[in-house]
Amino acid sequence: MLINVENLKLSLNGVSILQDVQLHVAPNQIYGLIGPNGAGKSTTIAVVLGLYAADSGKLELFGKATEKTSADVRRRIGVMPEHAGFYDWMSACDYLAWHANLYGGPRRAIPELLAQVGLEQAGRCPIGRFSQGMRQRLALARALAHGPELLILDEPTNGLDPRGRREIHDLFLSLAREQGVGILLCTHLLDDVDRLCSRIGIIHHGCTVLEGPLAELLGRHGAGGVYRLRLDNVPDAGAMPKEMEMEDRGNGWWCVRLPTDTNPADLWQRLLEHGWRIREIRAEGGGLEDLYIRMTHAAVESRQEGTV
Amino acid sequence: MSNPIGLIAAKERRALLENQRGLAWLLAFSATLSAFALLLVSNTELSLLDNAQVVYLMVGTVTAAGAVIAVILGSDAFAGERERGTLVPLLTAPITPAQLLTGKAAGLLAAWGVMYVLALPYLWAVGAGGQNLLQAVVYLALFGTPVVLGFGYMAMTLSAWTGGVMTSLVGSLIALLFSIGPLFLDPSLRDSAVGRALDMVNPFAGAINTYDAVIVDSETFSPQLPRLALVVIWLGLMLLAARHAARKPCFR
């Protein structure tokens, strides 16, 4: 296990920030740490990185308990903070070389690194001229420069255009699958998590409200996809497949929920074969988004009940 | 080169010498010295000062300017990195807080070194042919360096604690003004018990009084030892405060 966090608690200036956080990141795995703004995601990362000392709980990095993150441990971690700052007067090449040298030991070739993040043409430009998207890419290159085994990325796709986002997604998948890098991805972009992560943790008000393999969680909590169908005919209620759960209907639209183990394309095909005249289908969230909303909402309700 | 202290010091030096802002500070420093030197030699009243007094004034001015630059650079050391978003990458790199602080201080010393070298031709221009020019150069290094570095460490402490450049800059400049201010008191007030007590704890006064003693009054080294102890203790205390603050700097 690259990161093993259990029952982590942290107070700052007398205010409880983290109350019960769990986090388990393994090699080859992309772990999505999600939660509303202010839930404690970035603070959790700060504790893992040794920037804050936890009040209590277990924190293991690379299988070893750590109260204070040592230099050797830091050499094995690549960090991309939420705010990607640089020395704007330096060129990208100079900056990456300088930063990688701080880590000592072997470092990756800078041109190869820049090519990997799509900045091969910008290596000699002063960073001050970079766009927001280019700065995000450079921040990722910085995190990768010393060849880490664990990447900790806070909102890594902020400011990237859709194509750039897709390229960075592919890079993350390749790092995890082909190079065995473990990635802790802290984000509020559920699309990113849905596409990349095999394991997630939902954190809310400093507590982990749900953690585990994404597919298993979606299955266990019945958070299948939600779709809106526009129909030209109105089928009998009894003709509705048993795996399709009606959420809402009206004005020719049916809003239905599908379980996670159902392939929507197969189901639509079956419906068409049974005489359903489906004119339009729209995905309406569901899946991870639905699970996220429900879990964070449940956490709010349980807190409110606790205070009444 | 993979020594973290050297890498950070080199970055600081480059920021000063390759960055427009750093060059602007040095240009401003040169312009100040030029204007002051011109005033000393051309003003009808100031030109009546003897050669040693002119050198003494120039050395005091260089120390004050060095302390101001140290406060500016020190205020930027942690808070500037935080505001630029470059502090977290430094704090999560495999370097210790002491190494980070030492690298920053080395950058500050490099800035002071450049200022010192820039001041030499001015000192020579206003003091050539007069007495004690060599003492001025030596004592500027001996007393000016711990005073300047001490103010730099003080600014770094505030910078790490507050996380705001403006807050630490204003706080440090106020402290510097409190240190320089008593020197402008009337000589009778400075000779009073309170004035002497202030001089005994004021590092800036320690340096200025030493310049006065060795450049104008041609005193030897031995009587300056208590004041040397004062500026060294000042430097030590500020270093301890900075090391403490650098362990847990404000980073968010």
For residue A21, the SS3 value is: strand
Q: Which tokens is A183 given?
A: 């990635």
Interface pTM (ipTM) of the complex?
0.86
- The answer to whether the CB of A154 falls within 8 A of the CB of A185 is no
* pLDDT at residue A250 in the model: 79
φ and ψ of A14, to 5 deg: 80, 0
Please choose, from the candidates A270, A226, A271, A219, the residue with its C-alpha nearest in 3D space to the C-alpha of residue A248: A226
Q: Is B250 on the interface with A (CB under 8 A)?
A: no
d(CA A3, CA B159): 32
Using a CB-CB cut-off of 8 Å, the residues of chain B touching A77 are 92
Closest to A81 (Cβ–Cβ): which among B2, B89, B94? B89
Please choose, from the candidates A222, A163, A157, the residue with its C-alpha nearest in 3D space to the C-alpha of residue A191: A157
Give mean pLDDT, residues B1-29.
Answer: 84
pLDDT of B53 higher than 90: no
Proportion of chain B above pLDDT 70, given as a percent:
98
Using a CB-CB cut-off of 8 Å, the residues of chain A touching B89 are 79, 81, 85, 99, 142
Are A103 and B94 an interchain contact pair (Cβ–Cβ within 8 Å)? yes
What pTM, to 2 d.p., does this model score? 0.84
* pLDDT at residue B94 in the model: 93
d(CA B40, CA B46): 5
Q: How far is CA B98 from CA A36, A134, B9, B109, B191, in A?
A: 36, 33, 13, 16, 41
CA angle centred on A75, ends A71 and A79, rounded to 5°: 110
Q: Is B17 on the interface with A (CB under 8 A)?
A: no
* pLDDT at residue A159 in the model: 82
Using a CB-CB cut-off of 8 Å, the residues of chain A touching B84 are 85-87
- pLDDT tens column, B204-224: 999 999 999 999 999 999 999
Q: In what order do the strands lie in the sheet with A3-12?
A: A64-65, A56-61, A3-12, A15-25, A207-213, A199-204, A30-34, A182-187, A150-154, A77-80
Q: Is A145 on the interface with B (CB under 8 A)?
A: no
Are B95 and A86 an interchain contact pair (Cβ–Cβ within 8 Å)? no
Pairing mode of beta strands A15-25, A3-12: antiparallel
* pLDDT at residue A237 in the model: 64
- pLDDT tens column, A171-225: 999 999 999 999 999 998 888 998 899 999 999 999 999 999 988 887 777 566 7
Closest to B92 (Cβ–Cβ): which among A49, A90, A101? A49
d(CA B71, CA B156): 8
Q: Which tokens is A14 given?
A: 């007398």
Mutation for testing the A interface, residue in B16, B21, B88 having most A CBs under 10 Å: B88
Q: Is A95 on the interface with B (CB under 8 A)?
A: no
Closest Cα in chain B to A145: B93
* pLDDT at residue A294 in the model: 79
Are B93 and A77 an interchain contact pair (Cβ–Cβ within 8 Å)? no
Closest to B94 (Cβ–Cβ): which among A42, A74, A83? A74
* pLDDT at residue A251 in the model: 77
> Using CB atoms and an 8 Å cut-off, which of residues 3-32 of chain A contact chain B?
none
- pLDDT tens column, B171-201: 999 999 999 987 777 777 778 888 888 888 9
Q: What is the DSSP-derived secondary structure letter of residue A91?
A: B
CA distance B180 to chain A (A): 34
* Higher-scoring residue by pLDDT: B127, B239: B239
Amino acid at B122: Y
Q: Is B6 on the interface with A (CB under 8 A)?
A: no
Using a CB-CB cut-off of 8 Å, the residues of chain B touching A141 are none
Mutation for testing the B interface, residue in A12, A68, A94, A102 having most B CBs under 10 Å: A102
Q: Is B45 on the interface with A (CB under 8 A)?
A: no
Q: Which residues of chain A have pLDDT under 70?
A: 67-68, 105, 222-224, 237-238, 285-286, 298-308
* pLDDT at residue A306 in the model: 56
Using a CB-CB cut-off of 8 Å, the residues of chain B touching A103 are 93-94
Lowest mean pLDDT among A49-63, B32-46, B76-90: B32-46
Are B84 and A85 an interchain contact pair (Cβ–Cβ within 8 Å)? yes
Are A102 and B85 an interchain contact pair (Cβ–Cβ within 8 Å)? no
pLDDT of B86 higher than 50: yes
CA distance A79 to chain B (A): 7
* pLDDT at residue A269 in the model: 86
Are B95 and A71 an interchain contact pair (Cβ–Cβ within 8 Å)? yes
Using a CB-CB cut-off of 8 Å, the residues of chain A touching B88 are 51, 79, 81, 83
Q: Is B105 exposed, middle or buried (0-12, 13-18, 19+ CB in 10 A)?
A: buried
Q: Is A37 exposed, middle or buried (0-12, 13-18, 19+ CB in 10 A)?
A: exposed
Please choose, from the candidates A2, A20, A16, the residue with its C-alpha nearest in 3D space to the C-alpha of residue A57: A20
Tell me the DSSP string of A124-175: TSBGGG--HHHHHHHHHHHHHTT--SEEEEESTTTT--HHHHHHHHHHHHHH
- The answer to whether the CB of A71 falls within 8 A of the CB of A25 is no
* pLDDT at residue B22 in the model: 77
* pLDDT at residue A308 in the model: 45
* pLDDT at residue B224 in the model: 93
